[in-house]
Amino acid sequence: MARAAIFAAGCLTSVAAQAQKLPAGFVYLRDIDPTIIQDIRYAGSNNFVGRPLKGYEAAECVVKREVGRLLRSVQEELAPQNLSLKMFDCYRPARAVADMVAWSRDGRETPAQKRYNPSFRKADLFRLGYIAERSGHSTGAALDLTLVDLKVDNSAAFDSTKDYADCTANVNLRAPEGSVDMGTGYDCSDVKAHTAAKSIAPAQRRWREKLVQAMARRGFVNYSKEWWHFSLPGAGGQAYDFPISSRK
């Protein structure tokens, strides 16, 4: 019995230690709702920088607890429609934001990077409002996400060796994202990615409206230049710089 008690106490201590990896008020979204799909793009190479950003040690969505609970509520609304949220980015360490800034000023333009900003020089992305030197993501209250239609085949995977069309091209030509067609790819720095863009098809506009409305019912506000970006007013606060590490 004594050994069992010691073992149980050790397990509880281990669980508590894991829980304490995050600052107070932050949670792993998987612990709130494991059904929400995650494709944390800055933890890999499938992003506009072409490599993992600093601070992304694991492909995990970390958010403020209140934000996680509201996302679970959105997911519960979508589930009967055979739809799911898909997270592209959640909490973003301040060091990752600084990494983006350094990237924008390195003076290099590669074909892979141009897939994400086909009409602009990357040095102009801050001036045009596509990248910010201080990001709401670093507070844990901003999110990048999309919708997934669970009734269709979403198995197509990104191939880093393939020469995809830019993010404004037809969905069959640009890099696959395993989600509904929103008219552009994620992180597309282009007027076509503006939420109310007139240059997209009616079906694409309906998907955007469905996402915006579902999020708005829980208090989330969309950023007009990015159909994928949402924030929860009042849930932010200070910016953090702790790295995103594995849950276990």
β-pair type (37-38, 83-89): parallel
- Please tell me the predicted confidence (pLDDT) of residue 232: 97
pLDDT over 80 at 4, yes or no:
no
d(Cα 41, Cα 52) in Å, to the nearest integer? 8
Average pLDDT of 10-29?
Answer: 65
pLDDT tens digits along 128-168: 777 777 789 999 999 999 999 999 999 999 998 999 999 99
Q: Give the Cα separation of 176 and 199 in Å (integer).
A: 21
DSSP 62: E
Confidence of residue 3 (pLDDT cuts 50, 70, 90): very low
Mean per-residue pLDDT for 9-19? 41
Cβ(65)–Cβ(29) below 8 Å:
no
Binding-site residue positions for Zn(2+)? 137, 144, 229
Percent of the chain clearing pLDDT 90 (strictly above): 75
Spatial contact of 244 and 95, defined as CB atoms under 8 Å apart: no
Question: Region 90-110: what's the mean pLDDT?
Answer: 92
Q: What is the pLDDT of residue 14?
A: 41
Weakest-pLDDT range from 70-79, 140-149, 234-243: 234-243
What residues contact residue 45 under an 8 Å CB cut-off, 6+ apart? 51, 52, 160
Please give the torsion angle defined by the CA atoms of residues 171, 177, 182 and 183, in that order, rounded to the nearest 10 degrees.
-30
Confidence (pLDDT) at 10: 44
Catalytic positions are 226
154 alpha-carbon distance from chain centroid? 18
Domains identified in the chain and CATH numbers:
2-231 (3.30.1380.10)
pLDDT level of residue 116 (50, 70, 90 thresholds): very high
The per-type count for the chain, helices as H runs and strands as E runs, is: 6, 7
The model's pTM: 0.89
Q: How confident is the model at residue 182, as a pLDDT?
A: 98
- Two tokens, residue 206: 């309906």
CA dihedral 44, 50, 54, 60 (to 10 degrees): -20
Question: What is the rounded average pLDDT of the residues 156-183?
Answer: 95
Query: Binding site, residues?
Result: 137, 144, 229
- CA atoms of 116 and 215, how far apart (whole Å): 25
Pick from 32, 62, 35: which is nearest to 245 by CA? 62
Q: What is the pLDDT of residue 29?
A: 98
Residue 129: its pLDDT value, please?
Answer: 73
The CA dihedral of 204, 205, 206, 209, to the nearest 10 degrees, is 130
Question: What is residue 18's predicted lDDT score, i.e. its pLDDT?
Answer: 43
Please tell me the predicted confidence (pLDDT) of residue 20. Answer: 43
DSSP class of residue 74?
A: H
Instruction: Give the separation between CA 116 and CA 48, rounded to whole angstroms.
Output: 6
Mean pLDDT for all residues in the chain = 90
